[in-house]
Amino acid sequence: MAYELPKEMQEKLKEVVGHYPDPMSAILPGLHMVMEHRGWVDGEACDHVAEVINVPPIHVYEAMTFYTYFPRKPVGKYNLQFCHNIACHLRGAQDLIAYLDEKHGIREGEVTVDGLFSLTKVECLGACGNAPMMLVRDKYHEDLTVEKLDELIENWKKEAGNGHK
Ligand code: FES
């Protein structure tokens, strides 16, 4: 069955359309709803958003492919979007990314067997002054060290174990 947002989210998205003179303005809110619901976006999801807000699907595809924020295949519950751009690179991002693989088995392009973690390397997220950093579930984690990574991962494992969504 083709992907669809839950009915209540579809209704909310239709409401968003009404806030703007042009329904195209609801494309990003629609893609964010897919992220909130499923955590990743593909062509089926784009078609669905296009249908709900009544715009040509190509415009939704264009938005999806422009932003690295939208993963295009399944990711872990905690997708570590790790900046590897210049400031983060100079402050050790590559070493931390290697550490995540060695210590925690979290590596780029893969989802851990428990479904909790995945890693995507991304370009500058505008927090260079606190490099190295990563974005996880809409929250920035900055001035990262191996100790901070260990703590964050342990906390997320506990959170997931408590049935937190
Ligand atoms: S280079 Fe990493 S946040 Fe700018």
- Give the residue extent of every domain in the chain: 7-66, 78-161
* Joined tokens for residue 120: 């995507």
Tell me the C-alpha distance between 32 and 128, whole Å. Answer: 25
pLDDT digits (tens, 9 = 90+) for 95-122: 999 999 999 999 998 999 999 999 999 9
The fold of the 78-161 domain, in CATH, is Glutaredoxin (3.40.30)
Among 83, 121, 135, the mutation site with the greatest number of ligand 1 atoms within 8 A of its Cβ is: 83
Q: What is the pLDDT of residue 44?
A: 96
9 CA distance to ligand 1 middle (Å): 33
Contact assessment for residue 83 and residue 124, using Cβ atoms and an 8 Å cutoff: yes
Q: Tell me the mean pLDDT in the region 51-69.
A: 95
Global pTM?
A: 0.82
For the four alpha carbons of 118, 121, 123 and 128, in that order, the dihedral sign comes to positive
The percent of residues above 70 in pLDDT, for the chain, comes to 98
Query: For residue 120, how far is its CA from the centre of ligand 1 (angstroms)?
Result: 14
| Amino acid at residue number 50 | A
- What kind of architecture, by CATH, is found in domain 7-66? Orthogonal Bundle (1.10)
Residue pLDDT, tens place only, 107-164: 998 999 999 999 999 999 999 999 999 999 989 999 999 999 999 999 999 999 865 5
